[in-house]
Amino acid sequence: MNGLEAVQLAVHDAGVKTLNYVPGYPITELAEALEARISVNEKVALEIALGASATGMRAMVLVKQMGMNILADPLVISATHTIGSGIVIIAGDDLGPKGSQAEMDSRIFGQLAELPVLDPRNPAALHASILEAYRLSEWLRIPVIVRVTARLLATKSSSIRSMPSKGSGQEFERIGWELTVRGRYQKHRDSITAFAAQASESTTQNCLQVSGNVGIIASGYPAALAEGLGVSTFLVGYAHPLPWMLMRRFIDGHRQILVAEEPGPFIESQLRISPKIKGKLTGHLPFGPLERADIVNALENLDKKQESMPQIYESVAERGYQGICEDCPFSPLFWALASVDVPVAGDAGCAIRAARKPYESVDVVYGLGSSIGVASGFRKKGVAVVGDFALAHSGIQGLINAVWQKRDVVVVVLKNDLAAMTGGQEVPDLTRLLEALVPTCYIQLPASKDEIERLLAAELDKTGTSAIVARGACTKYKIR
């Protein structure tokens, strides 16, 4: 059974009633296998889960790492506001990023929101961690995060026994309103985090083996890589809160400790006060995803002081670059955008594929739904290129702000009626809303570059915000 199947079994065993997701690597395939419902953005996905939980239904939210940033607002509030039935957030980290604009470590949201994060090492642990996360979530009335990676979802374990553990159907309790925000926070710090710390110490997901005077502390997939190397191992089940009492004993009992984790030094940075601790910060392990050979090499060189090695930065030529599809109907638009003499803000959809040669159509891309806000800040009138999914995700907020503040922006909406970057998922049609907000014109693609340039020039000549809806049928994904 692989990690994806382990999650499917856990969702069944836990009796999860509501599953919501926002597509993105590496959780799209998992979410679709679970028949989760797509949401316009991660904040909304978590809000739906909070509503389901308040009325007695277990819920799951599946998001990519960048999506954790978007749902952070209700996440932080839910920790002290409390919930009803269990909520588990599956945070998919894209290590050595393949489909993201940044490499992130979702474990850090445990510290930020003061919520538990389970970081399973293999599919069996993933299944058990999700069931434990639901129990913990309902006991403490807080959401719990389970971190996954593409490798964890793809790797296999021996068969996993189904362990049904349905929820009680508990609902939100209004008793919390008797406390102020400060009072709820005091209660959270005083009792909830203490109970979470106990759970971290006592979980069956901790795996301790002692052999010799060198030890490895590991979390997540690197914990599976650290097994069987002939040294002591402490594979932690929780990345937050850490099982401090067990870890202290483990560290005290060894001469040297290597911390194996990915992508960043999340645990190591909390332990680095001890000179015994080696890992990414000491140069013994590389940042980003780890391989077993990295851990073996680090163990062989633990006593050596590591010099920082000159790095070779990964280039586009080395990795390969997925540009615009050859027969893409939006291609003439990208050529036309390349020839306008104004700044162009792109978005994290197919427009980002036109950022590099040969098109060089967009100048900056600061994430999904960002282009209209970014273009609103340009020194002179420019263009914001936004896909229809990015517009629904969060771009619409930038548009409302642009209208409200009378900004000068030409918004070009790439309307192909699907989320092409993440596999062709459905997208809401916002054209009526767009027409209600700003003067809107349409062009059917493919069209000639000259025709598109004339349209862009005419809109750039006007003051205020206006929209061009460029309609085209994506040739890679058909409308479902």
Q: Does 352 bind ligand SF4 (CB under 6 A)?
A: no
* Piece in contact with ligand SF4 (CB under 6 A), picked from 212-220, 235-243, 313-321, 471-479: 471-479
Both tokens of residue 243?
């099982």
Which of 327, 331, 381, 375 shows the shortest CA–CA distance to 354?
331
Residue type (1 letter), 330: F
Q: Does 413 bind ligand SF4 (CB under 6 A)?
A: no
Site for ligand SF4 in 331-350 (CB under 6 A): 350
Q: Does 476 bind ligand SF4 (CB under 6 A)?
A: yes
Q: Does 325 bind ligand SF4 (CB under 6 A)?
A: yes
Q: Cis peptide before 164, with omega less than 30 degrees from 0?
A: no
CB proximity list for 91: less than 8 A, separation 6 or greater: 63, 65, 67, 68, 106, 109, 145, 146, 147, 148
Question: Minimum CB separation from ligand SF4 for residue 353, in Å?
Answer: 6
Question: Minimum CB separation from ligand SF4 for residue 385, in Å?
Answer: 12
Given the complex with ligand SF4, which of 250 and 334 has the nearer CB atom? 334
Cα torsion 331, 102, 73, 363: sign: negative
Which one among 330, 359, 378, 389 touches ligand SF4, defined by CB under 6 A? 330
Cα torsion 231, 234, 239, 242: sign: negative
Given the complex with ligand SF4, which of 126 and 470 has the nearer CB atom? 470
Which one among 420, 437, 443, 455 touches ligand SF4, defined by CB under 6 A? 420
Given the complex with ligand SF4, which of 225 and 350 has the nearer CB atom? 350
Question: Minimum CB separation from ligand SF4 for residue 215, in Å?
Answer: 48
Which one among 106, 416, 422, 425 touches ligand SF4, defined by CB under 6 A? 416
Tabulate helix, strand, coil % of the chain (nearest 5).
Answer: 40, 15, 40
* Piece in contact with ligand SF4 (CB under 6 A), picked from 122-130, 403-411, 446-454, 469-477: 469-477
8 Å CB contact between 91 and 148: yes
Which of 126, 173, 143, 118 shows the shortest CA–CA distance to 48?
143
Burial degree of 270 (CB within 10 A; 0-12, 13-18, 19+): middle
For ligand SF4, what does the binding mask look like between residues 255 and 284, x meaning CB under 6 A?
------------------------------
Which one among 328, 348, 399, 456 touches ligand SF4, defined by CB under 6 A? 328
8 Å CB contact between 328 and 350: yes
Residue type (1 letter), 76: V
CB proximity list for 34: less than 8 A, separation 6 or greater: 7, 8, 11, 19, 21, 60, 62
* Piece in contact with ligand SF4 (CB under 6 A), picked from 149-157, 167-175, 239-247, 323-331: 323-331
Q: Does 447 bind ligand SF4 (CB under 6 A)?
A: no
Question: Minimum CB separation from ligand SF4 for residue 323, in Å?
Answer: 8
- The contact set with ligand SF4 (CB under 6 A) reads 324-325, 328, 330, 350, 353, 416, 420, 474-476
